[in-house]
Amino acid sequence: MTTHAEAAHGHHYTTTGLDHRKIAIWAFIGSECMLFASLISTYLVYKGRSLVGPLPHTAGTNAAGQPTVPILDIPVTSASTFVLLMSSLAMVLALAAVQNKDKPVPADAGAWTKALASSKLWLWMTCILGATFLGFQAYEFTSFVHEGLTIKTNLFGSTFFTLTGFHGAHVTAGVIWLGTLLAIDYKRGLGPKDAINVDIAALYWHFVDVIWIAIFTLIYLIPD
């Protein structure tokens, strides 16, 4: 339904008075909650039921009877968690910069004030931090395979790679999405009229962050 507001500002408001794109992203995020809950549930149900190693928190023996060490690397994952949390900070600053684009920066403003006004800077930061998180995940997956843990090794491998792999795929999609926003920013500049598009991407990005918050605690920090 076309409203006054849509005609005047190019927004797409529904009969609720709310932008339908924002309603859609929240509904999508709600459905994603259920997807990740099913993956986390599966991990927790099968937790501690692997017959052979490598195991997440304890030593064990592999199918060939050789000893295996606890496989999760908490310091590395803590660092990647910190990186993802900081990417969420960069994302809210990118959104704020876009929303405030039409407000002029005083000529005598300090470097930090100018930095806060740069949507390109914060979008780049978010992309780089997201890519860094993916780099940590690639390192983790590679080291696990070298230790003899694959998706087929045991129940832990199957549920762990499925859960974290799905999350990594979501982060990858988020980085690509942010990359497209960055390209638009370089091509024609993002302004307050684009804030809703950046807001939707930001909501998706923060959702990926909150899912990792749950995964980090339930999978990495709580032992069998």
Partner 1 sequence: MAHDETQATNPDHAHPHPTWATYKWVALWLTLITVGEVWAYYIPAFVASKAFVPILVTMSAVKFAIVVMFYMHLKYDHKLFRALFTGPLLVAMATLVALLFLFAKLGASV
Binding site for partner 1 (CB under 8 A): 5, 13, 16-19, 22-23, 26-27, 29-31, 33-34, 36-38, 40-41, 44-45, 47, 74, 78, 81-82, 85-86, 88-89, 91-93, 96, 99-100, 103-106, 109, 113-114, 116-117, 195-196, 202-203, 206-207, 209-210, 213-214, 216-218, 221-223
Q: How far apart are CA 203 and CA 219, in angstroms?
A: 24
**Minimum distance from residue 62 beta carbon to partner 1 (Å):** 25
Cβ-based nearer residue to partner 1, 64 or 107: 107
Q: How many CA atoms lie within 13 A of 18 on its CB side?
A: 8
Name the residue nearer to partner 1 (CB basis): 64 or 111. Answer: 111
Which CB, 117 or 181, lies closer to partner 1? 117
Nearest residue (CB) to partner 1, 18 versus 183: 18
Q: Which is nearer to partner 1, 85 or 184 (CB)?
A: 85
CB of 172 to partner 1, least distance (A): 20
Cβ of residue 114: shortest distance to partner 1, in angstroms? 7
From the CB of 115, what's the least distance to partner 1, in Å? Answer: 9
Which tokens belong to 224? 């069998």
Cis preceding linkage at 75, omega within 30? no
What's the closest the beta carbon of residue 133 comes to partner 1, in angstroms?
A: 14
